[in-house]
Amino acid sequence: MIELHDVRKVFPARRRAGEVVAVDGVSLHVEAGEFAGVVGPSGSGKSTLVRLVNLLERPTSGSVTVDGQVLTELPDDRVREARRSIGMVFQHFELLDSRTAAGNVEHPLELAGVGRAERRRRATELLDLVGLGERAEARPAQLSGGQKQRVAIARALAARPKVLLCDEATSALDQASTTSVLELLRRVRSELGLTVLLITHEMAVVKAVCDSAVMLDRGRVVDRGRLSEVLTREHSPLADALLPAPVADAGAGHGGALLRVTVTDRAPETVVLQTLVGELGLAVEVAGGSVETVAGGRYGRLLLRVTGGGGELDAAVGRLRDDGVLVERVPVHGGVAAGAGVDR
Amino acid sequence: MSDWDRVWPQLLEATGETLYMVGVAALVTVLLGVPLGVLLTVTAPGGLAPRPLLNRALGLGVNLGRALPFIILLVLVAPVTRGIVGTTIGSTAAIVPLTIGAIPFLARLVETSLREVAAGKVEAAMAMGARRRDVVRTVLLPEARPSLVAGVTVTVVALVSYSAMAGAVGGGGLGDFAIRFGYQQFRTDITLLTVVALLVLVQALQWAGDRWARRLAHV
């Protein structure tokens, strides 16, 4: 549904600042119906990237295809038409204060030349969909942040787009509003069969709603994949960001070896512990870690301190690997274990 | 003071002349100044339709209009006035320089108002497939409306003050009245009375403008 091929965006030099390469040769493929995330630190080019999809920014080179149309080859007026089938939601909502909630939802329809009665009908329908049917006549200033973003989502959906772009759509919201807006996004995705591309710097957002993710750093893709695949891959920067490697408590226990184990639905912690303790008879202490729900599945990373002879330990690691469990030996430095970024 | 019977009707007439000049000039100023302000905004670098050369030319013209003292402008545009009105004398003739003086003033205020509209709102409209003129019509002007009304109010008040100089071309009005009756005949009471009349007028305009702007502001 969304296809970016080797896209570069270079902002020309301005007075004192040199030219800025915001997006540096990024290719992206989002399937129809997929909920894809783009993550990265600020300045990594993700906001520019999302604007390249609907050509709010024209790429310096490379091609952008949405729903089979090569947007980068279209003249301006055709690009404007194509934008109508690409909804967009922004961090700061960008609702018009001069219009009511319903008036804001009608705005894109007005631009598309839809008649008044039909606009009204559609606005009512959409505000009902986002749970704000009662607030149709409210002004943005009378709505909470979460409500404003719901109106903005209704507006983005008004022209029946196939694609929805979200630029940090929950970054200006509190926790409760973030949760409800994310729920809404997932719901409209499945009810309307949308393809969603969501930009965020919050890993929690990716974990809550995305099927797949792309990680950007300084305009380049550093990691990508379906979350279910990424999380069980060794040495994945994306996985490290989604499930930060647990750090061992330096004061706990002595001796033994540290194992970092990734647990999944297929290889849950109960099975891992059963193998180590029950079958191999090793002494196991949980030194750190967490298990949570990501993309609908349970994933976790545990740091286990295993006491046993060298041979037993190697056998244990081998056994777990045979069972399809991701295991890494974490070296212990002077009694203090560093959990992150080791074993590379 | 037995001449008050004579003064009152004249004061009333002068007020009428001021209202006429300011009213017509304000109307034409809004009709031409708002589009000029829009043009200044959209042609600016980084605007909706950047045209650096046109923008600089417009900016220069607007600054020239604002730099000229009104009394000089009054004389300079006399040929234009004659071309439009047929004469350079009288209230109607005074409307031409008043309008020419006020348009650049309002245009700058409009430009400032439009610039304050968040760039994100413009971007959101573009993302919906809006054409540039749609952005001006459905985003910039409506969103800036309270601030535009405030700008028009300031301009109308400035027009009242400019119109005091219209006496120089026989335009009449309150300013002219104050000079002829009050200043030149050493009638401080009449001068003060005129000042009060002008103050009431300006207060009324400002009050109405503020009320209107507040009603439009939904923030």
Report which listed range, B43-47, B93-97, B147-151, is most confident: B147-151
| Residue predicted with more confidence, A264 or A118 | A118
Chain A: nearest CA to B119, how far in angstroms?
9
CB contacts of A86 in chain B (<8 Å) are 127
CB A303 within 8 A of CB A258: yes
CB contacts of A140 in chain B (<8 Å) are 218
For B44-173, where are the alpha helices, taking DSSP H only?
52-67, 70-76, 78-85, 91-115, 119-127, 132-135, 141-163
CA angle B118, B124, B129 (to 5 degrees): 135
* Single-letter code of the amino acid located at A251: G
| Residue predicted with more confidence, A92 or A243 | A92
Mean pLDDT of B143-153: 95
Report which listed range, B64-68, B75-79, B132-136, B162-166, is most confident: B132-136
- pLDDT of amino acid A259: 85
Q: Is pLDDT above 50 for A87? A: yes
- pTM exceeding the 0.90 threshold for the entire prediction: no
- pLDDT of amino acid B205: 93
Q: Is pLDDT above 50 for A340? A: no
Q: Is pLDDT above 60 for A151? A: yes
Interface predicted TM-score of the whole assembly (ipTM), two decimals:
0.85
Q: Which two tokens stand for residue A225?
A: 């994949």
Provide the mean pLDDT of chain A: 88
Question: Around Cβ A175, how many Cβ atoms within 10 Å?
Answer: 9
Alpha-carbon span A80 to A182, nearest angstrom: 28
Mean pLDDT of A158-166: 95
Residue B35 φ then ψ, to 5°: -60, -40
Q: Does B143 touch chain A (CB under 8 A)?
A: yes
- pLDDT of amino acid A249: 60
- The chain A residue lying nearest B145, using CA atoms, is A98
Q: Is pLDDT above 80 for A17? A: no
Chain B: nearest CA to A162, how far in angstroms?
13
Helix/strand/coil (H/E/C) assignment for every residue in A249-262:
CCCCCCCCEEEEEE
Q: B interface mutation test: which of A11, A97, A122, A142 has the most B CBs within 10 A? A: A97
- The chain B residue lying nearest A51, using CA atoms, is B127
Q: Is pLDDT above 70 for A344? A: no
> Does the distance separating the beta carbons of B129 and A108 come in below 8 Å?
yes
Which of A231, A299, A217 shows the shortest CA–CA distance to A39? Answer: A217
Judged by average pLDDT, the poorest of A100-104, A198-202, B167-171 is B167-171
Mean pLDDT of B22-29: 96
Alpha-carbon span A107 to A97, nearest angstrom: 12
Q: Does B142 touch chain A (CB under 8 A)?
A: yes
Provide the mean pLDDT of chain B: 90
Mean pLDDT of A85-107: 95
Alpha-carbon span A307 to A63, nearest angstrom: 55
Q: In Å, what is the CA distance from A127 to each residue of A103, A123, A134, A138, A187?
A: 11, 6, 8, 12, 14
The conformation of residue A17, written as its DSSP 8-state character, comes to: B
> Does the distance separating the beta carbons of B138 and A111 come in below 8 Å?
yes
Q: Which residues pair with A213 in a beta bridge?
A: A37, A225
> Does the distance separating the beta carbons of B128 and A98 come in below 8 Å?
no
- pLDDT of amino acid A335: 45
Evaluate the CA torsion angle B18, B24, B25, B29 in order and state its sign. positive
CB contacts of B216 in chain A (<8 Å) are 98
Chain A: nearest CA to B134, how far in angstroms?
7
| Residue predicted with more confidence, A279 or B142 | B142
At residue B169 the predicted structure's pLDDT band, cuts being 50, 70 and 90, is confident
Alpha-carbon span B24 to B99, nearest angstrom: 9
Q: B interface mutation test: which of A90, A111, A157, A165 has the most B CBs within 10 A? A: A111
Chain A: nearest CA to B64, how far in angstroms?
28
Evaluate the CA torsion angle B37, B44, A73, A47 in order and state its sign. negative
Mean pLDDT of A66-80: 93
> Does the distance separating the beta carbons of A84 and B127 come in below 8 Å?
no
Question: Around Cβ A114, how many Cβ atoms within 10 Å?
Answer: 17
> Does the distance separating the beta carbons of B131 and A94 come in below 8 Å?
no
Chain B: nearest CA to A108, how far in angstroms?
6
- pLDDT of amino acid A90: 96
Q: Is pLDDT above 60 for A251? A: no
At residue B173 the predicted structure's pLDDT band, cuts being 50, 70 and 90, is confident
- pLDDT of amino acid B164: 83
How much of chain B, in percent, has pLDDT values that exceed 90? 57
- Nearest-CB residue to A56 (from B127, B216, B219): B127
Residues from A in contact with B at Cβ < 8 Å: 54, 56, 80-84, 86, 88, 90, 92, 94, 96-99, 107-108, 110-112, 139-141, 155, 159, 165
Chain B: nearest CA to A94, how far in angstroms?
5
- The chain A residue lying nearest B138, using CA atoms, is A107
> Does the distance separating the beta carbons of A84 and B138 come in below 8 Å?
no
CB contacts of A66 in chain B (<8 Å) are none
- pLDDT of amino acid A341: 41
> Does the distance separating the beta carbons of B126 and A83 come in below 8 Å?
yes
- Nearest-CB residue to B143 (from A56, A97, A155): A97
Judged by average pLDDT, the poorest of A54-58, A302-306, B58-62 is A302-306
Helices (H) and strands (E) in chain A, counts: 11, 16
At residue B191 the predicted structure's pLDDT band, cuts being 50, 70 and 90, is confident
Which of A209, A205, A204, A240 shows the shortest CA–CA distance to A222? Answer: A240
Element (H, E) at B209: helix B188-216
Q: Is pLDDT above 80 for A118? A: yes
At residue A4 the predicted structure's pLDDT band, cuts being 50, 70 and 90, is very high
Which of A344, A335, A326 shows the shortest CA–CA distance to A260? Answer: A326
- The chain A residue lying nearest B219, using CA atoms, is A141
Alpha-carbon span A206 to A35, nearest angstrom: 9
| Residue predicted with more confidence, A159 or A272 | A159
Judged by average pLDDT, the poorest of A190-204, A325-339, B6-20, B90-104 is A325-339
Mean pLDDT of B157-185: 83
Mean pLDDT of A106-112: 95
Judged by average pLDDT, the poorest of A13-17, A185-189, A303-307, B45-49 is A13-17
> Does the distance separating the beta carbons of B218 and A97 come in below 8 Å?
yes
Alpha-carbon span A214 to A222, nearest angstrom: 8
At residue B115 the predicted structure's pLDDT band, cuts being 50, 70 and 90, is very high
CA angle A98, A102, A108 (to 5 degrees): 80
> Does the distance separating the beta carbons of A110 and B125 come in below 8 Å?
no
Q: Which residues contact B48 (CB under 8 A, 6 or more apart)?
A: B41, B42, B122, B132, B135, B136
Chain A: nearest CA to B120, how far in angstroms?
6
Q: Which residues contact A204 (CB under 8 A, 6 or more apart)?
A: none
**Distance, first Cα to last Cα, chain B:** 54
| Residue predicted with more confidence, B163 or A308 | B163
Mean pLDDT of A174-203: 93
Q: Is pLDDT above 80 for B28? A: yes
